[in-house]
């Protein structure tokens, strides 16, 4: 009679992993707002978002109607790229406000305001859109996600003449 070898701990773990469906190991989508200690997000370098307006479905239309030029960042708080953009976006908003430009930089949490994001064709995060006189201009911002590039892109899209945008 043949003797069956005793399974090793390594082989038992391998068997367990192969027998467990992979989807059980994935987090549930509703758990996206829960902080994960193993998820490394970029640290906020500039937490001064005093010049970034937080928009919701309740104030979106009225704010766009009140301002001629508005740039809106549709973001997801769990998105790496949205987190990376946030301090640069805030710095660009502060810089443009310091230069006295009549342009508002705002943000919308697209995970909380899903219908608003869907209405503006947001399919990924972050999506930065320009609005003039409350009307969306169909040219999303695809440039560099840095303060100088974003400020220059806003100036370019709005048509302001700012020869000394970064000097002085």
* pLDDT tens for each residue of 81-112: 999 999 999 999 998 888 888 899 999 999 99
pLDDT at 138 over 80: no
Contact (Cβ atoms closer than 8 angstroms) between residue 89 and residue 46 = no
- CATH superfamily, domain 68-158, is Glutaredoxin (3.40.30.10)
pLDDT at 77 over 70: yes
Its pTM stands at: 0.66
Contact (Cβ atoms closer than 8 angstroms) between residue 83 and residue 41 = yes
Tokens of 113: 């305001």
Please, what sign has the CA dihedral across residues 167, 152, 127, 26? negative
């Amino acid at each position: 009679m043949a003797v069956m070898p005793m399974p090793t701990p390594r082989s038992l773990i391998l068997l367990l992993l192969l027998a467990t469906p992979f989807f059980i190991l994935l987090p549930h989508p509703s758990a996206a707002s829960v902080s994960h200690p193993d998820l490394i997000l970029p640290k906020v370098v500039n937490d001064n978002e005093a010049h970034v307006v937080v928009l919701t479905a309740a104030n979106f239309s009225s704010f766009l109607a009140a301002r001629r030029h508005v740039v809106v960042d549709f973001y997801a708080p769990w998105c790496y790229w949205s987190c990376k953009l946030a301090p640069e976006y805030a710095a660009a908003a502060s810089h443009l406000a310091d230069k006295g430009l009549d342009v508002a930089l705002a943000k919308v949490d697209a995970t909380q305001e899903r219908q608003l994001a869907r209405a503006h064709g947001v399919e990924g995060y972050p999506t930065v859109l320009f609005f003039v006189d409350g009307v969306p201009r169909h040219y999303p911002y695809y440039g560099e996600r840095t303060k100088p590039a974003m400020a220059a892109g806003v100036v370019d899209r709005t048509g302001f003449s700012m020869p000394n945008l970064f000097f002085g």
